[in-house]
Amino acid sequence: MPSTVSAQDLTAPHAEAGAPSSVRRWAILALALGGFGIGTTEFVAMGLLPNIASSLEVSEPTAGHVISAYALGVVVGAPLIAALTARMSRRTLLIGLMVAFTVGNLATVLAPNYGLLIAARFIAGLPHGAYFGVAALVAAHLAGPRHRAKAVGQVMLGLSVANVFGVPAATWLGESFGWRSAFAIVVVIGLATLVALVRSLPSLADMTVTNPMTELGALRRGQVWFTLLIGIVGFGGMFAFYTYLNSTLTSLSGLSVSVVPFALMLFGTGMIVGNIIGGAAADRNVTLSILGGLVMTAVALGLFAAFAQNPWAALVLTFVVGVSATAMIPALQTRLMDVADDAQTLAAALNHSALNIANAAGAYLGGVVVGAGLGYRSPSALGVILAGAGMVVLGLAVLTARRAKNAQPTSGGVETDLER
């Protein structure tokens, strides 16, 4: 039975040194493998929509609802699961979440019709946000307070690597052997993750357990909402850019369609580099890491909008956008841990709900500006504005936190970068 300890166990003395390096290394690798599977299943459907539509005899726009069903599962599942499982051992919870994820993808493979496929994708999305949220907390706990953001970044690497290797490989399988085979390989990854988690995760008995009402308390904390809003607004521009990257490169940069997969791999590689850099930066200063990511994203998107007609510049800047935007993720996840106090699981899980909202909002707004006749530069230009809006939200968060600290100079809890 896990012990109920201080909610700030990430900074407690017993966590100062973290877990032994071999335990930490294998546990984080297992957690990242789960992220690899989740990243693969989330994005592979986008490239297989024509195949799914043809197989189930529906239109391609209708088939697109399988993507929306998964995203809805993420948004709904993250807070719901985090709150309802607050008393559960983190080890047991992670294993249970991966079981649910694997079952959801197996149901996807076996779905005989469109309606059941929609239900299966919704089920597969439910554990997504909670898994990443709890995995981040576990990685931070095992690494100790001085290396927690780096550990969070390493877990998130699974998602980035999926974009470079997992999604292209699964898409090829789907094109060659039918779309169900793409999700069948995700089931295999899920099973491999289950074995890895069972074998590598320590008991985690000294990690915090709370209760549903305590976790829901995160929703009453203004700094949690500020941090989520930074992610929604700041990442919205990156998703607007990414949604129309294919069309921009072929229509504006003059690149062949055959070069687009290479460009997407460049973007995915940038995400890997961004996670590594962002994790190291956030361990030094969380707030400056978020600000740096927003500034870099604004600059990179602005340069892309200005030089997109040059194919070489467009390819280089595609990589840079991947680096700059993703570099914020470890810092945002760590910030949520800090400001959530004793409701860290819900707050950490909500980060992925926020990023899915950013995905939907960015794609929608990108469509608005392109549909208004502003051309394929406009999604990147929109991204500059949204990154700037993210900086404004961050500034408000800093100001609000400092005012709160001055008003209550003796209040308890962990002092964050925003309050210093």
Given a contact cutoff of 8 angstroms between Cβ atoms, the answer to whether 27 and 135 are in contact is no
Strand residue runs (E) in 70-153 = none
pTM of the predicted model over 0.85: no
Burial 117-129 (b: 16+ CB within 10 A, else e): bbbbbbbbbbbbb
Query: How far is 180 from 175, CA to CA, in rounded Å?
Result: 10
Given a contact cutoff of 8 angstroms between Cβ atoms, the answer to whether 79 and 128 are in contact is no
The DSSP code sequence of 372-391 is: TT--TTHHHHHHHHHHHHHH
Domains annotated for the chain, with CATH where assigned, are 1-209 (1.20.1250.20), 217-420 (1.20.1250.20)
Per residue of the chain (420 residues), give pLDDT as tens: 343 333 344 333 334 455 567 778 899 999 999 999 999 998 888 778 788 888 998 887 788 788 888 888 888 888 888 888 888 888 999 999 999 999 999 999 999 999 999 999 999 999 998 898 889 888 888 887 778 778 888 888 888 888 888 888 888 888 889 999 999 999 999 999 999 999 999 888 777 777 777 777 777 888 889 999 999 998 888 888 887 887 888 888 888 877 877 888 898 899 889 988 988 888 889 899 999 999 999 999 999 999 999 999 999 999 999 999 889 888 888 888 788 777 777 877 888 888 888 877 887 888 888 888 888 899 899 999 999 999 999 999 999 888 877 776 554 444 555 545
Secondary structure letter of residue 14 according to DSSP: G
Which whole-number Å values give the CA distances from 303 to 240, 300, 307, in the listed order? 15, 5, 6
Give pLDDT tens digits for 286-316. 899 999 999 999 999 999 999 999 999 999 9
